[in-house]
């Protein structure tokens, strides 16, 4: 079953920026490699790049089994660039997974961004190396989507840093629905990135019991892909 799913979720539009070690034999905790619904994290995070805009949107539900614990949790953060107060220069980060694990990874990512300013891809690869190889970090159960003005990436606990060339990335339990809806709407020329994300997230909320409609939204201007560290 796992081989079938891996074949399905890695279409030609997916480009690997880093696969720093051999695949883990344990189940992955991101939308693009799980084999069964119970292996997903109970949330939906979606990032869309379209018509010069980047929109990251996430729901607010926190659940414990079949019980809703909180409806309006904040699962998206904007990490400001070191020495800059310009929100446009920040990095958007959305996470699915346990809160403590996610914030541990956010702190590590922030450190890498400070170490490699303006180089999001390299920062993510370095984080993935540590996440995959460190004895403590490899136990963390979370999935991350990160985006700046140039690129959107998904980081997995298997050591992968993935970029979707169609401009749509999603993680969490509702990600298959949000991803499919967003990709279908990308061809509608007069729809903005935020409109595509909003409609796709509503589809996910209607179909996934672990996703609600208390959406958090962050946006950036899309400057287009540039080589790391160069303008």
* Residues with a known catalytic role: 43
Within 10 angstroms of residue 231's Cβ, the number of other Cβ atoms is 7
Among residues 174, 175, 173, 182, which one has the least CA distance to residue 200?
182
Alpha carbons 62 and 117: distance in angstroms, whole number:
33
Within 10 angstroms of residue 90's Cβ, the number of other Cβ atoms is 20
Half-sphere exposure of 132 (CA within 13 A, CB side): 21
- Beta strand 53-58 with 216-221 is antiparallel
Cβ neighbourhood burial of 61 (10 Å; 0-12, 13-18, 19+): buried
Alpha carbons 176 and 44: distance in angstroms, whole number:
9
Say if CB 82 and CB 114 are below 8 A apart.
Answer: yes
């Amino acid at each position: 079953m796992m081989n079938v799913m891996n074949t399905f979720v890695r279409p030609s539009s997916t480009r690997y920026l880093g696969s720093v070690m051999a695949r883990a034999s344990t189940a992955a905790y991101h939308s693009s490699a799980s084999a069964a619904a119970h292996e997903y994290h109970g949330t939906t995070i979606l990032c869309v790049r379209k018509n010069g805009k980047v929109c990251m949107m996430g729901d607010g539900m926190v659940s414990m089994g079949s019980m809703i614990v909180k409806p309006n949790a904040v699962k998206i953060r904007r990490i400001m660039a070191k020495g800059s107060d310009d929100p446009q220069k920040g990095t958007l980060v959305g996470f699915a997974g346990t809160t403590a694990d996610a914030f541990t990874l956010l702190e590590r990512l922030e450190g890498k961004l400070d170490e490699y300013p303006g180089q999001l891809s390299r920062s993510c690869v370095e984080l993935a190396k540590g996440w995959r190889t460190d004895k403590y970090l490899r136990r963390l159960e979370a999935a991350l989507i990160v985006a700046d003005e140039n690129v959107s990436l998904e980081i997995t606990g298997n050591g992968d840093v993935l970029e979707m060339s169609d401009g749509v990335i999603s993680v969490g339990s509702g990600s298959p629905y949000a991803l499919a809806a967003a990709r279908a709407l990308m061809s509608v020329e007069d729809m903005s990135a935020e409109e595509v994300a909003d409609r796709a997230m509503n589809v996910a909320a209607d179909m996934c019991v672990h996703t609600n409609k208390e959406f958090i939204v962050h946006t950036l201007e899309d400057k287009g892909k540039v080589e790391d560290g160069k303008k």
